[in-house]
A and B are shown apart, each in its own frame.
Chain A
Amino acid sequence: MTTELEQLEYSIQEIMEIADGFGLDYYPMRYEICPADIVYTFGAYGMPTRFSHWSFGKTFNKMKMQYDFGLSKIYELVINSNPCYAFLLEGNSLIQNKLIVAHVLAHCDFFKNNLRFSATNRDMVESMAATAQRINGYELIHGASKVEAFIDAVLAIQEHVDRQLIKPQRYDKRQQMEAKQRLAKEQRKAPIRQGEYDDLWELETQSAALPDSGEAIPFPPEPEKDVLWFIQEYSEDLEDWQRDIMSMLREEMLYFWPQMETKIMNEGWASYWHQRILREMDLSSEETIEFAKLNASVVQPSQSLNPYYLGLKIFEDIERRWNEPTEEERTRFGRVPGQGREKIFDVRELDSDISFLRSYLTKQLVDDLDLYIFEKQGPEWKITDKAWENVRDQLVASRMNGGFPYIVVQDGDYNRAGELLLKHQYEGLELDLKYLERTLPYVYTLWGRPVHLETVVEDKSAMFSYDGNKVSRRII
């Protein structure tokens, strides 16, 4: 239907002009109209070109079933790339597509300008295609089931990467770590000299100066957050193709990481702009009603805290507070009225969900949105707290490290037998022990020697170990 496509093209042009007028800054756009199963495939894989794995098939099946039963619908998908790909669901009405096109433009603006995304690979569509092809090649050489079993293990710890925002230029992690270790060794040999006369002081204690050298130099010198990287570099059990797969999957995780860090902001930003842009357009009365319906379903409040809604409300609140600052804000912070738009552009550039919530989720918002903390007491899930600061802090805590437990490599030569000691940086949230016990064997697969994880269970330190046969746990 050429006319429909032409209409859409005409609308896109109009939307882009409005967006440009608002100052949105995005990559060239590639809109693809796809049937539902394709959109859902991309949704499940996160990227159209991603490698094959049964877990994606499982997700796809679940999503597609919900769509088939009319329970949920994805209208679009957008990829952080340059040019930016957006996939529109075939059968969307023109007004639906207008909303989506505007929404997607704001996503793209966010990808392009938010600091967290500054280091993402904008050619990831091609990179992932290459990865998929290489994995496919390994399957031909080593057998599909062997490769699959290995990928199962890698995926089990894929979230444990280190997405540092600030890195030295030409930063080589391995080199740096080994330098630190050398340093530690030297320090061990000669105690640190701080002043010119230190060596004089030492004369007195020379005989006692050398500490027990039986203590091993820690390896890694500092706890290593990037578990995936550490194993990929230092496991003695991996073949080249396995290291290759690990490093490719790590790249993919690093690519997705900023999206996990900015989910609330990104969706709020896109929702904010699709509303503003559509308001500028000439819509027929039918279109206006359909737009209102769709918009309502996108930013619908829900008990489980819809990120679209929460993000939108916070952005609107920021804009309001910087447009019409209170007396106190004017005098204390020197805030000049009318800075709202400018401010939200700054926020979209500099913040991530954690700082966004911490800085801009106000008492008034918590009250207006009726946010609360709930937890399980006995068999019941109960509201236990409505104090706004607690709500804010809880929300921030839940977004820490993308919501995943913070786990580090504590010792890569544990028991001096090359065993791996991981440590869960416990901050009040216990691990799911069943999952923990099932995940350790995967780590063992990668490390090739016994693996241990230290965590806290019911206020006691506990050590979980897997030696290749069974998982054991003990209180330490």
Chain B
Amino acid sequence: MSSSFEQNKSSFVVSKEDWSLHRKGYQDQQRHQEKVREVIRQNLPDLITEENIIMSDGKQIIKVPLRNLEEYRFIHNYQKQKHVGQGDGDSEVGDVLAQDQPKDAGKGGKAGNQPGHDVVEAEISIEDLENMLFSELELPFIQEKEKDELETVSFRFNDVRKKGLMSNIDKKRTILENLRRNATSGSPGIHGISPDDLRYKTWEDVKLPHSNAVIIAMMDTSGSMGNFEKYCARSFFFWMTRFLRKQYEKVEIVFLAHHTEAKEVTEQDFFTRGESGGTICSSVYQKALEIIDERYPPSSYNIYPFHFSDGDNLTSDNVRCTRLIGELLKRSNMFGYGEVNQYNRSSTLMSAYRNLTHERFLYYVIKEKGEVYQALKRFFHKREGEK
């Protein structure tokens, strides 16, 4: 609807129209968001090793800095510039207005004039990131475990019955029963426990379904493994665990740290504790074999031993290592060896492993952080026509 007025000098019209079909802003907004996703996809190698993801401790939404979606142009260096501001009337030379916070708009960043000064951060859920990453990965060498191979490996007490083993007696319930019986018979109190009052805890067998996986995370924690090496390994295990969780109902991780001898450690120690000394890798393979034989029968577990190291090893130990890897491969779906080797040295371990030709033995040499992504792709790449 509209109407107009003619005046001696000027005219005007007021109108109100139906704008509901005008979607341009939303369309371009969507295009922008698509571009954000595109950039995230391109930056996956960098993003997946971002500290705030690896250290996110279960946060579902994370912020990732986006470096490519700013509208770049020639601008002045805001930080090195003088600016004019306005005070309340009593400002004085020397007053501190703000501590450095690049995002603070109150410092005179006139929106629109200096669009480049916001740090662009995109919020993304870990799930989205996973979907992007995992769409490029595939689980190799799946070994179907037969249905009838389901094994009873655990039990839990979850029922109470009148009959049972005396050692499993449920004292609390027994007394409650006694109290109730005495109360109904007119003499309240705890006395005269009869066989009728006795209650036993009973258990139920827990059948673990076959789709279980265990990661045997092995890492060299000798002096030569620095922060960078550990960080790469940590990023790798972070994503590998998540990836396997998508594939299997239950994924366990065993952390084995080694220098000249191996021991099982907590996750915390695994990634933070450093030890000095030399390196004998076979020790950890031996330990892995023991643990597998003890706790993770290959008939019900998909086993993924992964070893991260900087490549240092006692030369004489190499033969033992290759033999033990062979043993491990008999029990496992695959064996992965990741070498974090920033400076591309030729390493003792690789000199031996290079000649190992087993289709389920895979290795990757990580030279920089971004290559964690490449490593993931190497170990879990999509294979055509293979099962």
What is A's interface to B at a CB cutoff of 8 Å? 2, 5, 8-9, 12-13, 16-17, 20, 26-35, 37-38, 40-41, 44-45, 52-61, 64, 90, 155-160, 301-306, 310, 369-376, 379-386, 391, 394-395, 398, 403-405, 407, 424, 429-433, 435-436, 438-439, 442
20 contacts between A and B (CB under 8 A): A2-B1, A16-B9, A20-B9, A20-B10, A37-B25, A45-B24, A54-B32, A57-B25, A57-B30, A58-B71, A60-B25, A379-B99, A383-B94, A394-B83, A398-B81, A405-B76, A424-B74, A429-B76, A435-B72, A435-B75
Are A370 and B90 in contact (CB-based, < 8 A)? yes
Known interface pairs A32-B16, A45-B24; A383-B97 also in contact (CB < 8 Å): yes
Are A28 and B10 in contact (CB-based, < 8 A)? yes
Residues of chain A contacted by B94 (CB below 8 angstroms): 382-383
Residues of chain A contacted by B92 (CB below 8 angstroms): 383, 386
Number of interface residues of B (CB under 8 A): 67
Are A384 and B93 in contact (CB-based, < 8 A)? yes
Are B86 and A369 in contact (CB-based, < 8 A)? yes
Q: Which residue of B15, B80, B109 is within 8 Å of A304 (Cβ)?
A: B109
The yes or no answer to B172 lying at the interface (CB within 8 A) is no
Q: How far is the CB of A362 from chain B (nearest CB, A)?
A: 15
How does the 8 Å CB contact mask read for B99-117 relative to A, with 1 for contact and 0 for none? 1100001111110010110
Q: How far is the CB of B144 from chain A (nearest CB, A)?
A: 43
List 3 tightest A-B contacts by C-beta distance, closest first: A57-B28, A41-B25, A57-B29
Q: How far is the CB of A95 from chain B (nearest CB, A)?
A: 16
Are A372 and B85 in contact (CB-based, < 8 A)? yes
Q: Which residue of A40, A159, A303, A306 is within 8 Å of B25 (Cβ)?
A: A40
- Alpha-carbon distance between A55 and B115 when the two chains are bound, in angstroms: 11
Are A431 and B93 in contact (CB-based, < 8 A)? no
Q: Which residues of B1-49 have CB atoms within 8 Å of chain A's CB atoms?
A: 1, 3, 5, 7, 9-17, 19, 22, 24-33, 35
Residues of chain B contacted by A303 (CB below 8 angstroms): 85-87, 97, 106-108
Q: How far is the CB of A209 from chain B (nearest CB, A)?
A: 43
CB closest chain-A residue, reference B112: A59
Are A156 and B72 in contact (CB-based, < 8 A)? yes
- Alpha-carbon distance between A182 and B88 when the two chains are bound, in angstroms: 59
The yes or no answer to B159 lying at the interface (CB within 8 A) is no
What is B's interface to A at a CB cutoff of 8 Å? 1, 3, 5, 7, 9-17, 19, 22, 24-33, 35, 69-100, 105-110, 113, 115-116
Are A372 and B87 in contact (CB-based, < 8 A)? yes
- Alpha-carbon distance between A59 and B70 when the two chains are bound, in angstroms: 11
- Alpha-carbon distance between A304 and B75 when the two chains are bound, in angstroms: 19
Residues of chain B contacted by A29 (CB below 8 angstroms): 10-13
CB closest chain-A residue, reference B15: A32
Q: How far is the CB of B321 from chain A (nearest CB, A)?
A: 41
Residues of chain A contacted by B3 (CB below 8 angstroms): 5, 9
Residues of chain A contacted by B74 (CB below 8 angstroms): 157, 159-160, 404-405, 407, 424, 431, 435-436, 439
Are A438 and B10 in contact (CB-based, < 8 A)? no
- Alpha-carbon distance between A41 and B26 when the two chains are bound, in angstroms: 8
- Alpha-carbon distance between A38 and B21 when the two chains are bound, in angstroms: 10
Residues of chain B contacted by A403 (CB below 8 angstroms): 76, 113
Are A12 and B76 in contact (CB-based, < 8 A)? no
- Most chain B CB neighbours (cut-off 10 Å) among A41, A45, A159, A384: A41
Are A386 and B25 in contact (CB-based, < 8 A)? no
Q: Which residue of B15, B22, B110 is within 8 Å of A31 (Cβ)?
A: B15
Residues of chain B contacted by A430 (CB below 8 angstroms): 76-77, 80
Residues of chain A contacted by B107 (CB below 8 angstroms): 303-304, 381
CB closest chain-A residue, reference B18: A35
Residues of chain B contacted by A57 (CB below 8 angstroms): 25-33
- Most chain B CB neighbours (cut-off 10 Å) among A59, A371, A431: A59
- Alpha-carbon distance between A54 and B30 when the two chains are bound, in angstroms: 8
